[in-house]
Amino acid sequence: MCWPFTVLTALAILTDGLVYAAYLFLVAVGLTLIFGVMKILNVTHGSFYAFGAYGAAIAVGIYFDRGYPAAGGFLLMVLVACAIGLVLGLVLERGLLRLVYGKDEVVVVLVTYAAFLILEDVIQLIWGTNSYALYQPLDLAGTIDAGPLVLSGYDIGLVVFAALLAAAGSFALKHTTWGRLLTVVIFDRELAASFGINVSLVYTVTFVLGAMLGALGGAAMAPKISVTLGIGVEVIVLAFAVVAIGGMGSVGGAFIGALIVGMCRAAAVHLVPQVELFVIYAVMALVLVFRPQGLFTRAQPRKI
Amino acid sequence: MSSYRLMLAATAAFSFVAAGGSQAQQPAAPEPVKIGIVTFLTGPAAAPFGIPDRNAAEAMIESLNAGKGPAPYNQVGLGGAKIEPKFLDEAGSAADQVTQYRNLVERDHVDVVLGYVSSGNCLAIAPVAEEMKQLTVLDICGTPRIFEEKSYHYVFRANPTATMDNVGAAKYVLEKLKDVSVYSGINQNYAWGQDSWRDFDLTMKDLAPKTTTDKVLWPKLFSGEYGAEISTLLTSNAQIIHSSFYDGDLEAFIYQSVARGLPKRIPYVLTSGETSLYRLGPKMPDGMFIGARGPHSFFAHGGDLNTWLTKIYVDRFGLQPVYPSYMMAQSLLGLKTAWEKAQAKKGGARPTQEEVIAAFEGIEFNTPSTTVKLANGKGHQGVTDTAYGTYKFDKDESKPTLVDITRYPADCVNPPPDVDSVTWLQGGMKGAKCN
Amino acid sequence: MIPRSLSIGALAFIVVAIAGPFFPAWLISLATVAFANALVVLGLIILWRSGLVPFGQALYYAIGAYTVALIGRYSGVHDIFFMVVVAALLAALTAYLTGLLLARYREIFFAMLSLAMSMILYGILVKTETLGSTDGFHVEAPRWLGYAPAAGWMRRAILFWTVLAFDGAAALLVSLYFRSIAGSLAAAMRDNEIRLEFLGISVNRLIHLNLVIAGTLAGIGGALAAFAVEHVDPDMSYWTTSGGFVFVTVLAGSGSVAAAFAGSFVFELLKSIAYDLLPGTWQMFLGAALLLTILFLPEGLGSLLLRHRRTLKAIRAAGR
C-alpha cells in the first residue's frame, strides 16, 4: 500500500510528538508535584532521574541476564525506581530540606542544587565513569509497522504509561483523601495548617512521591538511552520548562504542556530541523506571554 | 547550635574528606619532567574520551618511566628524566580552563601541558599558551581552525584534524555504495557536528557532484531521545546516513534506531563510531561503516608499538584501548621524540624549551597507529593516513571486528600545508595525492 | 560623614589595587575574572533585594562579551573604554526591551522566562557557524587610549586595574542607589508588593529599572571577562552560567555591596582549589562548600561583615 507523503509525515509527527511528550511528562511530573505543594524548584530532580536510570539499568539488567520472565522485568523497573525514590526522597527531605524550610526560596533552590552536585559525584563514586545499557525491554517490546514508518512497541508503551500516570495523578489529586490534602496545601499552606492539616507530613509525603516519580522517569527512559554521567543535567531544564508551561502543581498542566512541546518539536524536526534547538524555549516564552502563571493555574487571591 | 546541625556539618565535612580521599594517589617519587595532562575526568565526555585518554597516559608513563618502551622509545621517561604527570579535569567553562591553564603554568610550573579534548577549549588555550610562552601539545580536539587561523610557536598538535575523518568517510561510502545518489545526516547541533557534516557534504559534492542530500538533522547535543529523527529518516529516500555521534548519543541512537529497523533499511557511516564498538558489541548492526578518527585500534599498523600499547593497556585496565588512547600515544611519543632529539643534539644534556620546540617542528615519528609527520601548520600540525572499515560482530569469538578495511594516505585526506581545509574542500581538493 | 561600610570598602579597594599586581600571576588572572563576574553578581544582589532572582543574566553577560569580541574582530577599533561602553549600552538596551516583558512576572515564571531568553541567544550563537558556533573565537587584546601594553605582566596588571576601576565605580554607584529612594524601596518590594502599590508606587516600573541596571552591570562584566579570558563562546549564555552567578550571589548574601566582590573571588578560588586538588570529585566539594555556607551563614559571606558591625556597635553602645 502506497502512503502519500504528507499523510506519512503527519502520522510521523503525531506519533513522534506523543512519544516525546510522554518522555517530557515522565520527566516533569515529579517536579511539578514538589513545586506545587512545597514551592521548591527542586534541582535534585535531575539526580532522582539519574539514580532511577542507573538503578534500573543495573538491577533489571541483572534480572534479564538471569533469564527470568519478561513481565517481571518491567515490574522490577517500577519497583526499583520507587525504592530509590523512597530512600533518596526521605534522606533529602528529612535530612536536609527540613533545615531550610523557613528560608528564602532562592536559598532552598541552592540547597537542592548543592545536593545535586554532591549526588552527581556520588553516582560517579558508586558506578564509575562507564555507561550502562538496558536494552532488553526495548527488544522485547517489538515493533509495529505503519507503512515505511516503523514504531517501537516500547515507545507506544511509554505513551500509554504516561497517559495512565497522568490520569491516575489527576484522579488521585481530586478524589482521594491524600490527594485532596495535597491540593489544599497547594492552594494555601497557611490555611491548610490552620485547619489542622499536618503540613510537615504532607511535605515529606510529597517530596518522596516526587522523588519516586523522578526516579520512575529515569527508569522508564533507561532502555532507550546510554546510562552515563551527566544524564541528570539535561533533564533539569526540560522538566523546569514543562512545569513553567503547565503551571505549578498541575498534573494536567504538565501533561498538556508536554503535549504542546512534544508536537511542536516533532513538527520542527520533520519540517524545519534547524529550529529544533529553540522549540522548547520558544513555546515556553509564548505560553508565558499569554498565561503568565502557566496554563493551568489557580486564581490567586490578593493578600495584603 | 543543635546537635543535629553539628551532625549534618560533620557529614558535609566528611564529603570534603571523601572527595579528597577518593582521588587516585599520584606517584610520590620526585620526577624532573612535569607534564600537566588535561582531559575530561567527569561528565558525559569522560567515558568515551577522557578516561581512555588518561588511562593510556598512565599506562604509557609507567612503562616509559621503567624504560620498557620498545625501540626507539626505550629511554627512561623523556631522555632519562622520569615523567611526572598531573591530571586535571577539563570540566567547566572555557574561562575555567584558561584559569586552570594559567595555574598549571604559573603555580605548578609544569614543563609541558598536554591534552584538551574539546575544540572550544583548544581554541581558547592556544593563544594563552603563546602569550605565556609555554610548550603545549594539543591532544584530541579536532578543529582545523587552530593553525589555520593563526601561527603558533609554542603550540603543537601531533594528531591530525577532523577534516580527514569526513573526507575518508565520503571516500569509503563512494567506494562501497557505488550507486549512491542521496545521502542524509544526523549530527549534533554544535561545532563538532556542524564541522563534520560540512566536511562530509563538501567532499561528497567534490567527488560525486550528482548526489543530493535529503533530511539533514540537527538534534541537540546530549539530547538522548531520537524518536522524531528516526521517523524522519525512516521516511527519507537516502541510501547512507552520516553521523559524527559518539558515546552516549551514539549508543542511544543505535538502540533506538535498531529497535525500529532503520539500519536494515539505510546503513550509517559513523566517523567516531569506534569508541562505542566494545560497549555495543552485538547491538551494533553489521554492515555499518566505522571510522576511528585515524588509523587507530582496529586499523592500527604500528607493529611492535601497537603490540606494546595494547599489552600495557589491557594488563593494567582489563579493557582494549580505543582511539583516544592511541591519540594520547601519538601526542606523548611525539613529545618524547622531539625531546630526545633535542637532547641528542646537545650531547645528552637536558634540552631547554626552545630546543625542544626547534626539534619538534616538522618532525616525523612512529606510533602504535602509524607514522606521524608534522607537515602542516608550519611544522606544528600532524598529518597521518586514515582508514575506514565495515562492522562485523564475530559471534564465535564474541568480539567486534572491522572488515573490508580501506586505508587512505595522508596526502589524500589532509589539506596540503598552506591551504585551509574549507577552502581546499570547496576548491575540489586540489593537490590531493591518492593512489 | 562617610558611612562605615563605604570607608571599609574603599580601604579594601585601595589595598587590593596596590598590592594586587604583585601577587603571583595566576592569582591576578583568577582575580581579574572573579572581579569581572562580580559585576554580574552585583546586579543580582539588586534584584534579589527586590525579591526576584533571574536565571538568565547570562544573556546580558554574553551580549557584553560578544560585543567587544566582535568590535575587536571586525572593526578596526581596539580601545577598551569605547568597547566596554558600547557593550554596556547594548546590554542596557536589551535589558530594557526584555524588561518590558519580564517585569510582569514573578518567582519561577520570572526565572524561567529569563532563562528562556538566554537560551534563545545561546541557540542563535550555536547556529552561527561564522562565529565558530560552540567553539567560539579569540578576543584580540585591547588598547588603552592607543596604548598597547606588552603581553605579560604589564598587560595583566593594567587589565586588573581597569577591572578594579569599573568595580569601584559600580560599587559606589550601587551603594548610592541603595541609599536612594528607588533603592530603599527594594526591601519593601520583596516583602509585599501590594502595599507598595497602595502607596502609589509602580512596582513594575521599579522592577524594570532594576532589570536595566542589573543587565547593564552584567554586560560590562561580560565585556571585561571576555578580555580577561581572551575567548568568547556561546557557553557564556548557557543556563549553567546564570546558575553560577546565582550560586555566588547566595554565597555572598544580599547584605552588602562588598560581598559581591568578596563572594566572587572566594568562589573562583574555591573552584580553582577544587579542580586542582580533587580533579575527579570537585563537584562534590563545591556542593559541600555551598551547603556549609547555607547552613552556617544563611545570610551569605556578607553577613560576616554585618554581624561584626552590629557587634561593634553594641560594644560601643554599651561602653557609652
How far is C136 from chain A, CA to nearest CA, in Å? 18
SS (H, E, C) chain B: CCHHHHHHHHHHHHHHHHHHHCCCCCCCCCCCEEEEEEECCCCCCHHHHHHHHHHHHHHHHHHHHCCCCCCCCCCCCECCECEEEEEEECCCCHHHHHHHHHHHHHCCCCCEEEECCCHHHHHHHHHHHHHHCCCEEECCCCCCHHHHHCCCCCEEECCCCCHHHHHHHHHHHHHHCCCCCEEEEECCCCHHHHHHHHHHHHHHHHHCCCCEEEEEECCCCCCCCCHHHHHHHHCCCCCEEEECCCHHHHHHHHHHHHHCCHHHHCCEEECCCHHHHHHHHHHCCCCCEEECCCCCHHHCCCCHHHHHHHHHHHHHHCCCCCHHHHHHHHHHHHHHHHHHHHHHHCCCCCCCHHHHHHHHCCCEEECCCCEEEEEECCCCEEECCEEEEEEEEECCCCEEEEEEEEEECHHHHCCCCCCCHHHHHHCCCCCCCCC
- Whether residues B220 and A276 touch (CB distance < 8 A) is answered with yes
Q: Domain map of chain B by residue range?
A: 26-161+300-383, 163-299+385-426
Q: Could you tell me which CATH number the domain at B26-161+300-383 has?
A: 3.40.50.2300
User: Is residue C320 scored above 50 in pLDDT?
Assistant: no
How far is A236 from chain C, CA to nearest CA, in Å? 11
- DSSP code at position A4: P
Domains in chain A: ranges and CATH: 5-290 (1.10.3470)
B174-215 tens-digit pLDDT: 999 999 999 999 999 999 999 999 999 999 999 999 999 998
On whether any CB of chain B is under 8 Å from the CB of C150, the answer is: no
B103-155 tens-digit pLDDT: 999 889 999 999 999 999 999 999 999 999 999 999 999 999 999 999 999 99
The pLDDT assigned to B27 comes to 46
Q: What is the CATH number of the domain that holds C188?
A: 1.10.3470
How far is B47 from chain A, CA to nearest CA, in Å? 5
Nearest chain B alpha carbon to A139: B259
Of the candidates B96, B119, B189, the beta carbon closest to that of C271 is on B96
Mean pLDDT to the nearest integer, B232-256: 92
- Whether residues A150 and B234 touch (CB distance < 8 A) is answered with yes
Q: Which residue has the higher pLDDT, C216 or C132?
A: C216
pLDDT band at B404 (very low <50, low <70, confident <90, very high): very high
Of the candidates B41, B100, B103, the beta carbon closest to that of C280 is on B41
* Mean predicted lDDT score pLDDT of chain C: 86
pLDDT band at B5 (very low <50, low <70, confident <90, very high): low
The pLDDT assigned to A66 comes to 82
ipTM: 0.86
Q: What superfamily in CATH does domain B163-299+385-426 come from? A: Response regulator (3.40.50.2300)
Its domain, for residue C175, covers 4-319
Chain B, window 211-270: residues with a beta carbon less than 8 angstroms from a chain A beta carbon: 215-220, 222-225, 227-229, 231-232, 234-235, 247-252, 255-256, 259-262
- Whether residues A103 and C107 touch (CB distance < 8 A) is answered with no
The pLDDT assigned to A247 comes to 81
User: Is residue B29 scored above 50 in pLDDT?
Assistant: no
Cα separation values, B125 from A25, A257, B149, B378, B397, Å = 41, 42, 14, 19, 44
Answer left, alpha or beta for residue B431, where phi above 0 means left and psi between -120 and 50 means alpha.
left
C34-76 tens-digit pLDDT: 999 999 999 999 998 888 889 899 999 999 999 999 999 998 8
pLDDT band at B16 (very low <50, low <70, confident <90, very high): low
The pLDDT assigned to C198 comes to 82
On whether any CB of chain C is under 8 Å from the CB of A124, the answer is: yes
Instruction: Quickly count: other Cβ atoms within 10 Å of residue C284's Cβ.
Output: 26
As a whole number of angstroms, the distance between CA B164 and CA B144 comes to 10
B58-100 tens-digit pLDDT: 999 999 999 999 989 999 889 889 999 999 999 888 989 999 9
* Mean predicted lDDT score pLDDT of chain A: 86
As a whole number of angstroms, the distance between CA B372 and CA B385 comes to 9
Q: What residues form DSSP beta bridges with A4?
A: none
User: Is residue B390 scored above 50 in pLDDT?
Assistant: yes
C135-146 tens-digit pLDDT: 999 998 999 988
- Whether residues C287 and A302 touch (CB distance < 8 A) is answered with no
Chain C, window 38-57: residues with a beta carbon less than 8 angstroms from a chain A beta carbon: 48, 53
Q: Which residue has the higher pLDDT, C76 or B172?
A: B172
The pLDDT assigned to C310 comes to 58
Chain A, window 258-287: residues with a beta carbon less than 8 angstroms from a chain B beta carbon: 265-266, 269-270, 273-274, 276-277
Cα separation values, B75 from B158, B336, B356, Å = 20, 9, 16
B278-321 tens-digit pLDDT: 988 999 999 999 999 999 999 999 999 999 999 999 999 999 99
User: Is residue B9 scored above 80 in pLDDT?
Assistant: no
The pLDDT assigned to A5 comes to 65
Question: How many structural domains comprise chain C?
Answer: 1
C279 chain-B contacts, CB cut-off 8 A:
23, 41, 87-89
User: Is residue B1 scored above 70 in pLDDT?
Assistant: no
- Whether residues A228 and B248 touch (CB distance < 8 A) is answered with yes
Of the candidates A110, A241, A278, the beta carbon closest to that of C123 is on A278
pLDDT band at A17 (very low <50, low <70, confident <90, very high): very high
As a whole number of angstroms, the distance between CA C158 and CA C163 comes to 9
Answer whether B359's CB lies under 8 Å from B351's CB.
yes
The pLDDT assigned to B21 comes to 45
pLDDT band at B414 (very low <50, low <70, confident <90, very high): very high
- Full-model pTM: 0.88
